[in-house]
Amino acid sequence: MNMIRKKPTIRMNLIFFFTALILSALFMFLGISIQVTEDTVLENSTQYTRQLVTQVSSDIDNYINYMENISTMLATNVDIREYLSSSTLDKYREQELYNRILFQFDNILNMRNDIYNLAIYGENDKYVLNRGNDIINPYVDVKNMEWYAKAVEGNGKRILSSSHVQNLIYDDYKWVVTLSKAIRE
């Protein structure tokens, strides 16, 4: 049995070459499409990430500025200054100031549910804390706490701590970021 090999016809050659040409063009188009898609996705992801970082940074700056405004409002409050600075207040006046400060703290805490603690603490160990129900942890020395010491050193500048466990309040240990400021006369 002799198999005679037929010579390819022009028609078969054309079909073969057109198929090869179409497949080559298809694979080249596929490669270019994948590259363009990859570049576009990477560029869009980079741009989106930049926008996200910018937005988060702006939100954090706005939040810190808002907290700074609250701390400035409290630091310039006449009742707070009188309460912390005067050691000769009669009990009635001291209680009146304490209640007015608590009222202001309560308003702020009701307005902002993201604020966990509001406190003023004087060098004379007078303090007002949150809504007046919390007590200072007896196992801590407030004046040696980093946020307090840095606020005193900062002499009225805003001091922002990194996140830490706040152990100021007895039996209540939450992760917080502390914004503190010394109140100077």
**In 3D, which of 111, 66, 106, 103 has the Cα closest to residue 83?**
103
Distance of CA 161 to the CA centre of its chain: 12
Average the pLDDT over 21-38 and give the result: 94
CATH number for the domain running over 76-180: 3.30.450
Asked if 182 contacts 151 with a C-beta cutoff of 8 angstroms, the reply is yes
Instruction: Give the CA distances from residue 65 to residues 48, 59, 60, 70, 96, in Å, rounded to whole numbers and listed in that order.
Output: 25, 10, 8, 9, 30
pLDDT over 90 percentage in the chain: 43
Q: Among residues 102, 103, 105, 97, which one has the least CA distance to residue 81?
A: 97
Confidence of residue 156 (pLDDT cuts 50, 70, 90): confident
Kind and range of the H or E element at 100?
helix 91-111
Quickly state the pLDDT bin for 9 (edges 50, 70, 90): confident
Q: Are 132 and 109 in contact (CB under 8 A)?
A: no
Most confident of 95-99, 112-116, 132-136: 95-99
